Structure 1
């Protein structure tokens, strides 16, 4: 059991005083946790973290899916230490930029050039800008079943909360449905489209046979640039991303999250004829793609190269898949034994799993989620999902299954009474994608 959360609660109040929302990422907000039980962390190692109250947790989510090798993975830290006393940021490129670019292109054979940046939002937005510049078109076709592509206006304008985004920007996005080629064909057939952007797969949705090939063919037919967002799938589905798993070659791809095992690095990659439009020495009109002070600082490039080396020397994806499968089997078996498997289960790709919490009617329930999170926290497990890392051991998985099993009597009681709120203090946790709370609207023609 925990030591309580008094110090975390005090510090969280101070965070709300100086940081809007009390956190720098919506998914890290205290409203994502049971009231009075939002740990403020101090340190981590491997798959474990410690908070300011001295509580130790097996952690899932792992830096918003950005840490696949574990916290404080020594080969990455060693690579970073090696560059610290040689300088971080310069007024000219470094030899490290060349080495990192060559590393990247060696693992993504469908890409001819790469440009590094700091986060996936900048990479996807640069890809959209490049596609618009290359095609001379303004409209973007975006998969509406996938929750998040960018913090920039072209995407934020599609959200229910889009205050501050001009209508002229909001009107340029059309949505299509995943695994539904007809919906994409309708969008592409209605007007000229600059690009089609989607994730090849998500934790809960795999491409149907022929779907990605059909997307590729439709883009070719209509002259649209195909952008695959590999921010999550890269280094978690495979070293070469989802495109390596499913055998589809995009025109552009965007990367982030696990590239640096927690260090801030992302990338835009793609065909040479497109990428060169954002460079020098082209006789075509140049496109402003990416230019930033810290895009190629040495620390994150060194971390990225060490991550690539770790993937080449071992098989972190296989480890994540194996531990994730063991976790799902253990929790789902425990739920079946408790007679609640219709209401609580673990689903998704083993390297990127979530748990589903439903009430007695089978409806997804934030109150039931709150109860499950509470019981897990009390038993030393922290996470809004079961997104795993290669640092999770069998002992970590067994600990997690034991914590889930310990949560099930309370969960079953809540199902029986229909009043989960009686078993926790305060309000239920907020939805994971609070900006996505309202239903999204399918945009096929101009609004």
Structure 2
């Protein structure tokens, strides 16, 4: 372990206050202190580019910025300037603004596979609206979702996770799971629930899983065959795989798609987009029963729409994804090289799409381990790297990457000692991190020798 430990005293004091006032001590479970080594969860004060500073004046290189919502970097000047100019003339009005027209036009130009778009504030707004719309279109109740990490805070999804308290059992029964990259498993869901599935929802790809040849095409065909809508969750893939979405990368067009995160470079904005024949059910010009579709007070506020327009210009005039991917490749190659030099490749690895990297931590037996993940986080935090992943932004510089590689190099002797001992005992200072979606409280603190 390092000798000159960073102080997190002020962060820990403020975290205690957060626990007194905010359930879970954070407004997003993935931001919770249980996702970081014990007593080492920094409370941040400011950021610039890919750097952040906490209340104890520790400086970190941050990865997965804003839960992957910030692709251009903290305080990106064109976004800040656009937001400041917009809000100086008012933020929220009783009628639409011309900014809504311009933002919708920008979005549909970037996503030509969609005919209409409606803006909201977070990803769950969009995915739940897609489910409601699909139910109205088909007259069916059930939804089929892939076994990927997260789709919504709403009942239709949370009811089938370990944190299902408060969700009626009959609501959860309306959601069926299938396996990603296994079209046959989706076929079995349709067969088990004939004429009951309104929609199939999945991410076209994830950081560590590309679609197998023909998989997305088979999903599209099954949806058409059984009369269900195909919904792509583009929260992460949109503006990270491509500004046109994963649907443009893989050439499969969904009926509806859900967007968010990087759309606003951290500002709260999401979108439901899709084919006119479905989207218009939430409008005025329909011969069918109208759908109450994303009617929100703050959906069209000017700050986030201005942020989105500035992001759209950055993607149209530059190459943020190329910069993310170049930084990611350099980081993955560098970290994996120092890990290999240390003889630890079977226990630690950086993997995934270059713009969406994760690190895999394995114990002495080569099995995935939360305890070893926590040890790695502990040692990299001490060396100025903050992140539950190695997801890059366009703001990560060569210097940032070099510092990160050296931080990993410095963390490896401790990791090696744990591998050789077959345990993190005496090396990990507190309890291991735990999955954000779990039924019970965090595990107890580990003994420290």
Q: Report the TM range for the smaller structure's normalisation.
A: over 0.9
Distance 2:306 2:62 in 1: 25
In structure 2, the partner of 1:148 is 150
> Is contact 2:163–2:438 with CA below 8 Å preserved after alignment?
no
Indicate the SS of the match to 1:419.
coil
- Cα offset, 1:161, TM superposition: 2.1
In structure 2, the partner of 1:66 is 69
Indicate the SS of the match to 1:194.
strand
> Are residues 1:309 and 2:348 paired?
no
CA deviations 1:149-172 (Å, max 9, x no partner) are: 000011011112211111221111
Q: List gaps (5 residues or longer) in structure 2.
A: 442-449
> Is contact 1:31–1:429 with CA below 8 Å preserved after alignment?
yes
TM-score by length of 2: 0.95
In structure 2, the partner of 1:21 is 24
> Is contact 1:147–1:436 with CA below 8 Å preserved after alignment?
no
In structure 1, the partner of 2:168 is 166
Cα 1:332–1:367, aligned 2, differ >3 Å: closer, same or farther? same
Match of 1:48 among 47, 51, 55: 51
Cα 1:26–1:211, aligned 2, differ >3 Å: closer, same or farther? same
> Is contact 2:122–2:260 with CA below 8 Å preserved after alignment?
yes
Stretch of structure 1 that moved more, 418-427 or 351-360: 418-427
- Cα offset, 1:398, TM superposition: 0.4
> Are residues 1:347 and 2:351 paired?
yes
Cα 1:122–1:370, aligned 2, differ >3 Å: closer, same or farther? same
Count of matched residue pairs? 436
Distance 2:5 2:91 in 1: 40
Distance 2:369 2:184 in 1: 32
In structure 2, the partner of 1:133 is 136
In structure 2, the partner of 1:232 is 236
Distance 2:34 2:187 in 1: 40
- Cα offset, 1:435, TM superposition: 5.8
Indicate the SS of the match to 1:114.
strand
Matches within 5 A, 1:366-385: 366-385=370-389
Matches within 5 A, 1:282-301: 282-301=286-305
Indicate the SS of the match to 1:169.
helix
> Are residues 1:102 and 2:105 paired?
yes
Matches within 5 A, 1:384-399: 384-399=388-403
> Are residues 1:361 and 2:365 paired?
yes
- Cα offset, 1:84, TM superposition: 1.4
Distance 2:384 2:62 in 1: 9
Distance 1:81 1:41 in 2: 23
Aligned-pair Cα RMSD in Å: 1.2
> Is contact 2:162–2:438 with CA below 8 Å preserved after alignment?
no
Indicate the SS of the match to 1:86.
coil
Cα 1:235–1:436, aligned 2, differ >3 Å: closer, same or farther? farther
In structure 2, the partner of 1:443 is none
- Cα offset, 1:370, TM superposition: 1.2
In structure 1, the partner of 2:256 is 252
- Cα offset, 1:92, TM superposition: 0.5
Distance 1:421 1:353 in 2: 28
CA deviations 1:208-234 (Å, max 9, x no partner) are: 111111111111111100000001110
- Cα offset, 1:33, TM superposition: 1.2
CA deviations 1:267-298 (Å, max 9, x no partner) are: 00000010000011211111111101001000
> Is contact 1:68–1:391 with CA below 8 Å preserved after alignment?
yes
Match of 1:114 among 114, 117, 142: 117
- Cα offset, 1:420, TM superposition: 1.0
- Cα offset, 1:2, TM superposition: 5.8
- Cα offset, 1:432, TM superposition: 4.8
Indicate the SS of the match to 1:195.
strand
Distance 2:163 2:96 in 1: 40
Indicate the SS of the match to 2:257.
strand
Q: List gaps (5 residues or longer) in structure 1.
A: 438-447
> Is contact 1:42–1:50 with CA below 8 Å preserved after alignment?
yes
Distance 1:429 1:175 in 2: 27
Match of 1:80 among 79, 83, 106: 83
> Is contact 1:323–1:394 with CA below 8 Å preserved after alignment?
yes
- Cα offset, 1:433, TM superposition: 4.2
In structure 2, the partner of 1:243 is 247
- Cα offset, 1:371, TM superposition: 1.1
Indicate the SS of the match to 1:281.
coil
